[in-house]
């Protein structure tokens, strides 16, 4: 066993160029090398691939990787080949000659890794091929696809239960980033992995900084966020509507950003083209509806911005999780306001589906709203939602970095509730504020609202703060939005104790935060030599273009950053950079060091 661990560490360093395993990669690899099965639940970016790649190299025979994401196989295989690993894929995009060649290599035990689509694996021809070859292990990637409860269900995954029957002595590893209990149990059952060693990692993504700001002027807020924190970074911006993705992308282009829209209404070619540019070029921003993202494996997405509220915490976590897979600092940034609540409620009302389904959706939206409004640590709340305990303060979310001021909003809440009541719960937020603030517009006199007891009682509170009060009352369920009456605000049962003076309410003081420290975060270390950084990126771009692979396949940003600070001048020093294995040292070392030497000489 000890020699196995030494072997796997050696491969980690010489082939992948990484110094250490991340926990629990080492134990997972040992399990497989010893011929045992494993179930791995690890968040996106946790480092699942190494868990089956290294044992495939170490064990006799070829590792078979079952993956539903055909579009990504090519990139995964290219990346492994650059490391000197003998990898291939079998899927419907190959011609016959290539297929036959690969089958021959497998039979002759000339492969370390073979990626196969599930539908392909289920063909008799493939199963026969596999039984005639030496197989190191089976890796079932995106294993939650076997669950019928999930949205990603693939019927081909059900047949994977024949693997243990046909190949009882070959170890299997199932991997996913989906954490919930129901899916986990279904995976264990359907893939017959009840006896597998289970490795369940924390779902925390400590490098992602969570922030949610009040929506005011979306474009100005977005522009300032991008300029300050991500001027040259790749990122994803999510919007609810197709039209808005186009609008924001066009507008960002006029501001000098490389932004492209992505939604289901674009034709296939445009979609493929925009996705390819996002992967292969640097600093591309995709402005997308949720149609974008599944299976996007780009490690250096530096930010995910939400311009509209996601419907559930699950979607929020999944979408924000596409940032920072490489472990470097990344932002999850969102703007949110009362209109978002109204819009989502409307969409839900209009959607088809049973009452029960609607109630469940409603419930999930409320959890999301609660998450937006909290004044305590966001990470803590996010993890708690997924059943994980964490220490209270993460120091990397808005509420930890700049604690939100609260104020006693009991009196204001009572005014807000009673003005809605006295106007018969027939008016929207703007008119209610007009009444409270003694406006003299026509609508007031048209309805005689100047005679109400509420008229003018809220003059001390300004417009924005009133909006904030109403939003918080709706988000917390004291009021509801009447969708049949164009967003009229109505009272909910929950507000009675407040009106009776039996309950006090603390509200967020949205705009003002107690700044503890100034903390603009950029992806570049502060002391980095920007000119050298750019020169190294250019060198990487040229190699990537020549090979037709995304730049991060050559080197990750973190490796380039290390080059900037360590300034390696010899092959030995170059090999010390994290992410530089033997193959990459030989292939790229001279060119990158030439850039460094030239730069330091001048």
Name the residues that contact Zn ion, by CB under 5 A. 377, 379, 394, 397, 400
Running DSSP on this structure, what letter comes out for residue 12? I
Closest distance of CB 198 from ligand ADP, Å: 16
CB of 149 to ligand ADP, least distance (A): 22
CB under 5 to 8 A by kind: which of Zn ion, ligand ADP, none does 22 bind? ligand ADP
47 makes contact, choosing from Zn ion, ligand ADP, none, with CB < 5 to 8 Å by partner type, with: ligand ADP
Segment interacting with ligand ADP, rule: CB under 6 A, options 17-25, 131-139, 222-230, 330-338: 17-25
- Least Cα distance to 119 among 147, 86, 145, 148 occurs for 145
Question: Minimum CB separation from Zn ion for residue 400, in Å?
Answer: 3
Identify the H or E element spanning 405. Answer: strand 404-408
Say how far apart CA 480 and CA 417 lie, in whole Å.
11
Considering only CA atoms, which of 571, 500, 584, 488 is closest in space to residue 543?
Answer: 584
List, in sequence order, every beta strand (DSSP E) within 160-234.
172-176, 197-200, 208-214
Nearest Cα to Cα of residue 39 among 162, 192, 165? 192
Whether the CB-CB separation of 75 and 279 falls below 8 Å is answered with yes
Asked if 371 contacts 309 with a C-beta cutoff of 8 angstroms, the reply is no
- Closest distance to Zn ion from the beta carbon of 307 (Å): 23
CA dihedral 139, 145, 150, 154 (to 10 degrees): -170
Q: How far is the CB of 325 from ligand ADP (least distance, A)?
A: 5
172 binds ligand ADP (CB under 6 A): no
Q: Answer with the entry of ligand ADP, Zn ion, none that 18 interacts with (C-beta below 5 to 8 A by kind).
A: ligand ADP
- Minimum CB separation of residue 120 from ligand ADP in Å reads 21
Residues 322-381 touching ligand ADP, rule: CB under 6 A, are: 325-326
Query: What dihedral angle (degrees, nearest 10) is formed by the CA atoms of 450, 452, 455, 457?
Result: 160
Binding partner of 326, given Zn ion, ligand ADP, none, CB within 5-8 angstroms per partner class: ligand ADP
Nearest to 398 by CA among 150, 186, 556, 208: 208
Which residues touch 224 (CB under 8 Å, ≥6 apart)? none
* Closest CB to Zn ion among residues 320, 423: 320
Shortest Å distance, C-beta 84 to ligand ADP = 15
Binding status of residue 477 toward ligand ADP by CB under 6 A: no
Interaction partner, residue 145 (Zn ion, ligand ADP, none; CB < 5-8 Å by kind): none
Tell me how far the alpha carbon of residue 518 is from its chain's centroid: 26
The yes or no reply on residue 585 touching ligand ADP (CB under 6 A) is: no
Q: Which is nearer to Zn ion, 115 or 210 (CB)?
A: 210
Q: Which of 84, 150, 164, 299 binds ligand ADP (CB under 6 A)?
A: 299
DSSP 479-516: EEEEGGGTTEEEE-GGGHHHHTT----EEEEEEEE---
Q: Using CB positions, name the residue nearest to ligand ADP.
A: 47
Q: Is 487 in the site for ligand ADP (CB under 6 A)?
A: no
Q: How far apart, in whole angstroms, are the C-alpha atoms of residue 357 and residue 349?
A: 11
Name the token pair of 304. Answer: 């995910």
Residues 187-216 as x/- pattern, contact with ligand ADP by CB under 6 A: ------------------------------
Between 39 and 341, name the residue whose CB sits nearer to ligand ADP.
Answer: 39
- Is there binding between residue 144 and ligand ADP (CB under 6 A)? no
Distance of closest approach, residue 44 Cβ to ligand ADP, in angstroms? 4
For residue 519, the tally of other CB atoms under 10 A from its CB is 12
Structure tokens at 168: 């009882």
Going from the C-alpha of 74 to that of each of 67, 93, 454, 548, the distances in angstroms are 12, 10, 66, 11
**Subset of residues 41 to 80 that bind ligand ADP, contact rule: CB under 6 A:** 42, 44-50
Comparing CB distances to ligand ADP, the nearer of 47 and 487 is: 47
In sequence order, what are the residues at sequence separation of 6 or more whose Cβ sits closer than 8 angstroms to the Cβ of residue 265? 242
Closest CA to 131 of 111, 156, 106, 94: 106
Q: How many CA atoms lie within 13 A of 198 on its CB side?
A: 12
Q: Of 398, 399, 396, 401, nearest to 376 (Cα)?
A: 399
Between 203 and 427, CB nearer to Zn ion: 203
CB neighbours of residue 385 within 10 Å: 18
Q: Which CB, 315 or 482, lies closer to ligand ADP?
A: 315
Residue from 10, 22, 277, 512 that binds ligand ADP (CB under 6 A)?
A: 22
In the shown chain, the binding pattern of residues 240 to 279 toward ligand ADP, with x for contact by CB under 6 A and - for none, equals ----------------------------------------
Integer Rg of the chain from CA: 28
In sequence order, which residues have a C-beta less than 8 Å from that of residue 503 and are 6 or more positions away? 410, 497
Residue 120 binds what, of Zn ion, ligand ADP, none (CB under 5 to 8 Å, by partner type)? none
Interactions with ligand ADP, residue window 311-330 (CB under 6 A): 325-326
Question: Should residue 18 be labelled a site residue for ligand ADP when binding is judged by CB under 6 A?
Answer: yes
| Contact by Cβ (8 Å): 445, 475 | no
21 binds ligand ADP, rule: CB under 6 A: yes
Give least dist CB 199 to ligand ADP, A. 12
**Which of ligand ADP, Zn ion, none does residue 400 bind to, with CB < 5 to 8 Å depending on kind?**
Zn ion
Part of the chain binding ligand ADP (CB under 6 A), chosen from 19-27, 87-95, 252-260, 532-540 = 19-27
Least Å distance, CB 53 to ligand ADP, is 8
User: Which residues are registered as beta bridge partners of 138?
Assistant: 64, 172
- Say which entry of Zn ion, ligand ADP, none residue 523 contacts (CB below 5 to 8 A, set by partner kind): none
Contact 308, 283 (CB under 8 A): no
Q: Which does 593 bind (CB under 5 to 8 A by kind): Zn ion, ligand ADP, none?
A: none
**CB 390 to ligand ADP: min, Å:** 20
The answer, yes or no, to whether the previous bond of 519 is cis (omega within 30 of 0) is: no
Contact status: 308 vs ligand ADP (CB under 6 A): no
How many residues in the shown chain lie near ligand ADP by CB under 6 A?
A: 15
State the residues that interact with ligand ADP by CB under 6 A.
18, 21-22, 25, 42, 44-50, 299, 325-326
């Amino acid at each position: 066993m000890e020699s196995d661990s030494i072997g796997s560490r050696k491969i980690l360093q010489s082939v992948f160029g990484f110094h250490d395993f991340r926990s629990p990669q080492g134990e997972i690899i040992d399990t497989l090398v010893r011929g045992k099965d494993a179930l791995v639940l690890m968040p996106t970016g946790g480092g699942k691939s190494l868990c089956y790649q290294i044992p495939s190299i170490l064990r006799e025979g070829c590792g078979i990787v079952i993956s539903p994401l055909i579009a990504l196989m090519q990139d995964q295989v290219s990346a492994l080949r650059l490391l000197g690993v003998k990898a291939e894929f079998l899927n419907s995009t190959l011609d016959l000659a290539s297929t036959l060649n690969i089958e021959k290599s497998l039979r002759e035990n000339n492969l370390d890794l073979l990626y196969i689509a599930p539908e392909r694996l289920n063909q008799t021809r493939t199963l026969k091929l596999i039984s005639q070859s030496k197989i190191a292990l089976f890796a079932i990637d995106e294993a939650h696809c076997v669950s019928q409860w999930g949205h990603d269900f693939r019927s081909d995954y059900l047949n994977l239960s024949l693997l243990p029957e046909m190949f009882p002595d070959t170890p299997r590893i199932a991997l996913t980033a989906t954490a919930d209990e129901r899916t986990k149990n279904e995976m264990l059952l359907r893939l017959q992995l009840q006896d597998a060693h289970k490795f369940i990692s924390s779902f925390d993504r400590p490098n992602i900084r969570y922030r949610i700001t009040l929506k005011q002027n979306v474009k100005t807020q977005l522009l300032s966020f991008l300029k300050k924190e991500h001027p040259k970074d790749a990122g994803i911006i999510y919007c609810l509507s197709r039209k808005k993705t186009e609008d924001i992308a066009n507008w960002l282009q006029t501001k000098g950003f490389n932004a492209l829209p992505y939604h289901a209404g674009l034709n296939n070619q445009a979609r493929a083209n925009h996705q390819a540019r996002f992967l292969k070029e640097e600093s591309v921003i995709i402005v997308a509806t949720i149609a974008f993202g599944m299976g996007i494996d780009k490690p250096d997405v530096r930010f995910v911005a939400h311009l509209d509220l996601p419907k559930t915490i699950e979607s929020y976590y999944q979408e924000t999780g596409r940032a920072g897979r490489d472990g470097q600092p990344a932002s999850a940034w969102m703007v949110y306001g009362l209109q978002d609540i109204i819009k989502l409620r409307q969409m839900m009302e209009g959607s088809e589906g049973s009452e029960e389904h609607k109630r469940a959706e409603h419930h999930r939206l409320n959890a999301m709203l609660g998450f937006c409004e909290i004044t305590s640590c966001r990470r803590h709340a996010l993890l708690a939602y997924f059943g994980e305990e964490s220490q209270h303060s993460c120091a990397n979310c808005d509420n930890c970095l700049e604690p939100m001021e609260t104020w006693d909003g009991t009196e204001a809440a009572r005014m807000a509730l009673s003005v809605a009541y006295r106007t018969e719960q027939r008016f929207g937020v703007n008119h209610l504020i007009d009444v409270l603030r003694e406006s003299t517009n026509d609508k007031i006199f048209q309805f005689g609202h100047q005679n109400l007891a509420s008229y003018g009682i809220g003059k001390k509170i300004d417009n924005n703060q009133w909006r904030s009060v109403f939003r918080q009352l709706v988000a917390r369920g004291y009021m509801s939005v009447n969708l049949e009456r164009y967003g009229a605000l109505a009272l909910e049962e929950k507000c009675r104790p407040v009106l009776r003076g039996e309950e006090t309410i603390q509200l967020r003081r949205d705009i003002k935060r107690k700044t503890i420290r100034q903390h603009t975060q950029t992806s570049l270390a502060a002391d980095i030599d920007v000119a050298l950084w750019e020169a190294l990126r250019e060198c990487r771009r040229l190699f990537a273009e020549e090979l037709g692979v995304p730049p991060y396949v050559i080197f990750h940003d973190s490796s380039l950053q290390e080059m900037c600070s360590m300034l390696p001048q010899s092959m030995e020093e170059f090999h010390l950079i994290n992410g530089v294995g033997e193959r990459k040292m030989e292939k790229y070392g001279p060119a990158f060091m030439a850039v460094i030497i030239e730069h330091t000489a001048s």
